[in-house]
Structure 1
């Protein structure tokens, strides 16, 4: 298995479905969505030649930077999936958000798994 496909496989593993999301609750669900988003975007960057070391040094948990680079390298993801980055990046980049009050906009926790599914499908179709 190539590194890009390995990362995409891990993104799928972290992606919560509706049933799991209901059991996890919004904070843990959104944490999983953030992790899966990071992995999916890094899968695309790895597909374009980024190494694990480069990803760690230049992307880390910065979803916004990963999105911008993936877009610049031709991912062409559905812009609706960008909502994940807009909502979660500031908190995820700082190490998570399990201790913060609800910071997302109303209804985002219900939309997030489907938005993530769109992003993962986009990456998978292009690898």
Structure 2
């Protein structure tokens, strides 16, 4: 079972694995739009919650694999390649589930700051988790 704390770790896609931060190139390079409008949990529909939870469930095994690979990496170049691969795959997972990195970051920020929304996400996670 994926624990909410593990999901919070994945939250910003600025994921901390061991002592190495995996920044998302897209999140760093692209300006964050301020006009998406997801400011309260009431504005997020059930489909968006489902997209978020399905993304979290799909990213978690990738996170675990990347963690193991980073721990075994011997050079900075190997670590960078693992990070780059994680970023690309995580971004693809999000997009395949109908979310952009920006939307994902906003939804996770909302989940981390809005108890009602966090409860909705946790409830949907319980429903969808195998």
TM-score by length of 2: 0.31
More strand by share: 2
TM-score by length of 1: 0.32
